[in-house]
Amino acid sequence: MYRYLAFVWNSRNLESARTVNALSTSAPATWNLAYEGTGIKLFRTDARRTASVYRLDRNGGVIFGKLFESHTEAEVPRQAQFDADEALRVVRSGGRRVVERYWGTYLAIVHDDAARKHHVFRDPTGTLPCYSTTYRGVDVFFADIEDALHCLPGPFSIDRDHLSRWLYSLSLAREATAIENVEPLPAGECLTLHEQARTRTRIWDPVAVASAPNFERPEEAELALRSAVQSTVNAWASCYRNITHRLSGGLDSSIVAGCLAHAPAKPQLTFCNLAIEDSDAQQQVHLLGMDRATIEKVRAIVSHGDERRYARLVAQRWGVPLVERKRSPELNMQRLSAIPLRLRPLMYFASMEMDDTRMEMVRNHGAEAFFSGQSGDTVFLATTQPVASIDYARRHGLRPALWRHLLASSTLSKESLWTVLQKTVSHGLLRRRYVSRFHTFWRTTLLNSELATQMAHSEQTLREAQHVATAALPPGTQMLANAIASTAYHEFVVHTRGLADDIDPLDAQPVWEVALRIPSYTSLKGATSRGLARHAFRDVLPEEIRKRTAKGSGSAFYQNVVHKHRGLLRDQLLDGHLVNDGYLDRRKLEECLALDDPSTQIVASTLLSYLAAEIWMQQWKQVGTATAARYRNAVS
């Protein structure tokens, strides 16, 4: 993760200028001033210097990160270069030209001197974190709150509403942080600062992309998808000499592995697999709040988390060393209190062993970057919903080919042909709203009843807003467009954040733009989840993986973790901040933890998330006490 700290202010305001100077002097000596322009100061705080600083001539601002050219026939996309003319085009477009002509991981601060405006935005898929706050007329942007704490006196208080949303459902926590007065800069949006005015405009819209001419024909879609993924992998692979790829053995990570093996840069590759213990794999997974039909669907596609056999097939195919490590439920959960500060609770229990393995790969194997297959489920369309026939009917109406898609949707969804036909007529031909079963199940929670009711209403409001925003799209494409906001994985990068970069090549603007233009009935080729991707990359996939439709799951593993750590959960939660501050219902919590297997009452990962939030609150209450004193001194 690239780390930075940027100050943006109205250069005509002398008081703001003095504030920036005061904040800058508190920066640690390890920080370096990467750019200084009219109303802009950018410090880079990452020691590895893998990010680039693109200075826009004529006082046009700066772009920090990695940028590659779009719309190029080059096998390896070139890194961006901005001469004076190109910089002028960027400024005149208010920054839009960056989104239209380039892609990558970046923060852009574009300065329009004539209009006295600053335009601030990040890459449309949000792979580079960007948070902001204001202090005495200065806008402060940063990737890591610990960097901001070096110079900002605060105050930093916990946002009760957002923390409630996080505890109820992570999907409700996308557009804010759990700390007051600190907010994320939404991906795809541009914040324009003009004297005292602040406006937001969307400069990259997934709905507009999906509404463009689409790749209807499977042959054309295959070529476009294959080209976008391989080109993206080629671009990122050219930036590193030593890459470790997190190879789960699933379809998505196997596709990225094959593309890495074909990258022209030929970096040194190591594959890494993290598997759960065999004993955990045999445990029955409790599926709470779902009806019988939905449970049967889930059980049909979910397998245990030990996929080493498949990872070995891929490693053997490409002759790449495979490092295998195991996960054990005997986790040292006390480590949750030693992780760096975050702006919302971090589910470190989900990545603790991977964090250890990544540190091992940096120290012993010289890893400069970690690649993964993250976002593959989304961009390749992993679903068992009958959206193919619904989307086809909505796009094309009653045509002979609809019958073929009805049969395919029935096969994929394991629903009767009659049921699929009813849904296709209702949601396809008549264009009524389609709601997936996975969005209607009862959510298990130990929040107090009043708070749980409020959050359930908030979740319904969110889904209504998402539907309104994407209503012009067929349901299958709506699912894809709404998923873009939830693809940021940088929050799970902990102790290697300053030692190696994390690259998710499938979570890239060129890949998303192709995926959004492929209709669901094309993506689900062969009546198979991610069917088009299976066919497009068939030559780089072992046949056993290409045909495999089950997905590995860690649910049973977390159930075992909860079972083994009930004592710690009781000690931390029953008389903790979440109970005392009115978030969790103590009676419900006590009854749950008294069970031999609490996972029969609440999803194991949810209970572990409560523990993560409790420890996170302990951290921030300590920080809050210290910063409150600093803030009082600063304003006195």
pLDDT value for 333? 85
pLDDT value for 630? 53
Mean pLDDT, residues 335-362: 89
Element holding 242 (H helix, E strand): strand 242-246
Q: Which residue range forms the structural domain that includes residue 629?
A: 556-635
Residue 306's pLDDT band, with cuts at 50, 70 and 90, is: confident
What phi and psi, each to the nearest 5 degrees, are found at residue 528?
-130, 135
- Cβ atoms of 609 and 345 closer than 8 Å: yes
pLDDT value for 89? 95
Measured CA to CA in angstroms, residue 17 lies from 24, 147, 535, 630 at distances of 11, 20, 58, 21
* H helix intervals, 36-158: 84-92, 96-101, 145-149
Residue 298's pLDDT band, with cuts at 50, 70 and 90, is: low
pLDDT of 436 > 80? The answer is no
pLDDT 10s digits, 454-492: 988 888 888 888 888 888 999 999 999 888 766 566 667
241 within domain boundaries: no
Residue 346's pLDDT band, with cuts at 50, 70 and 90, is: confident
pLDDT value for 551? 64
Q: Which of 169-178, 347-356, 497-506 shows the lowest per-residue confidence on average (mean pLDDT)? A: 169-178
Mean pLDDT, residues 293-320: 76
Q: Percentage of the chain surpassing pLDDT 70? A: 90
277 within domain boundaries: no
64 within domain boundaries: yes
Beta bridge partners of 327: 276
The per-residue pLDDT of the chain, averaged, comes to: 89
pLDDT value for 67? 96
Length of the chain: 636
* H helix intervals, 303-434: 308-318, 352-365, 376-379, 387-396, 401-413, 417-423
pLDDT 10s digits, 35-74: 999 999 999 987 777 899 999 988 999 999 999 999 888 8
- Single out the residue in 204, 236, 262 at which a domain terminates: 204
* H helix intervals, 159-217: 160-168, 206-211
161 within domain boundaries: yes
User: Considering its fold, how many domains does the chain have in total?
Assistant: 2
Give the span between the Cα atoms of 41 and 118, in whole angstroms.
Answer: 12
Q: Which of 4-13, 93-102, 150-159, 406-415 shows the lowest per-residue confidence on average (mean pLDDT)? A: 150-159
Q: Which of 11-25, 250-264, 462-476, 576-590 shows the lowest per-residue confidence on average (mean pLDDT)? A: 462-476
- Cβ atoms of 253 and 246 closer than 8 Å: yes
Q: Which of 207-221, 439-453, 462-476, 598-612 shows the lowest per-residue confidence on average (mean pLDDT)? A: 439-453
Mean pLDDT, residues 82-108: 96
Tokens at 552, concatenated: 């590995």
* Strand, coil or helix: 106: strand
82 within domain boundaries: yes
Vertex 524: Cα angle to 522 and 529 (nearest 5): 160
Q: Please state, as a whole number, how many other Cβ atoms lie within 10 Å of the Cβ of residue 22.
A: 14
pLDDT 10s digits, 238-274: 999 999 999 999 999 999 999 999 999 999 999 999 9
pLDDT value for 478? 92
Give the span between the Cα atoms of 279 and 253, in whole angstroms.
Answer: 24
518 within domain boundaries: no
Mean pLDDT, residues 129-144: 94
- Cβ atoms of 9 and 138 closer than 8 Å: yes
Tokens at 87, concatenated: 């910089």
Give the span between the Cα atoms of 65 and 52, in whole angstroms.
Answer: 5
What phi and psi, each to the nearest 5 degrees, are found at residue 242?
-135, 115
Beta bridge partners of 269: 243
390 vs 279, higher pLDDT: 390
Place of tokens 């990122």: 236
Residue 427's pLDDT band, with cuts at 50, 70 and 90, is: very high
* HSE-CB for 129 with a 13 A CA cutoff: 27
Which residues have CB under 8 Å from 567's CB, separation 6+?
A: none
Q: How far is CA 559 from its chain centroid?
A: 24
Q: Is the peptide bond before 155 cis (omega within 30 degrees of 0)?
A: yes
257 within domain boundaries: no
- Cβ atoms of 305 and 275 closer than 8 Å: yes
Element holding 381 (H helix, E strand): none
pLDDT 10s digits, 167-198: 998 777 777 899 999 999 999 999 999 988 89
Region of residue 381 (phi > 0: left; psi between -120 and 50: alpha; otherwise: beta): left
118 within domain boundaries: yes
Give the span between the Cα atoms of 515 and 226, in whole angstroms.
Answer: 11
pLDDT of 282 > 60? The answer is no
pLDDT value for 283? 55
Residue 632's pLDDT band, with cuts at 50, 70 and 90, is: very low
pLDDT 10s digits, 392-410: 999 999 999 999 999 999 9
Q: Which of 356, 359, 371, 363 is nearest to 269 (CA)?
A: 371
Give the span between the Cα atoms of 516 and 386, in whole angstroms.
Answer: 18
Measured CA to CA in angstroms, residue 222 lies from 225, 227, 314, 482, 522 at distances of 5, 8, 22, 23, 9
* Strand, coil or helix: 289: coil
122 vs 555, higher pLDDT: 122
Place of tokens 């760096």: 340
* H helix intervals, 114-250: 145-149, 160-168, 206-211, 218-237
- Single out the residue in 165, 186, 204 at which a domain terminates: 204
Give the span between the Cα atoms of 157 and 312, in whole angstroms.
Answer: 48
pLDDT of 442 > 70? The answer is no
Residue 635's pLDDT band, with cuts at 50, 70 and 90, is: very low
pLDDT of 438 > 70? The answer is no
- 85: domain CATH number? 3.60.20.10
pLDDT value for 90? 96
- Single out the residue in 147, 169, 204 at which a domain terminates: 204
Q: Please state, as a whole number, how many other Cβ atoms lie within 10 Å of the Cβ of residue 635.
A: 9
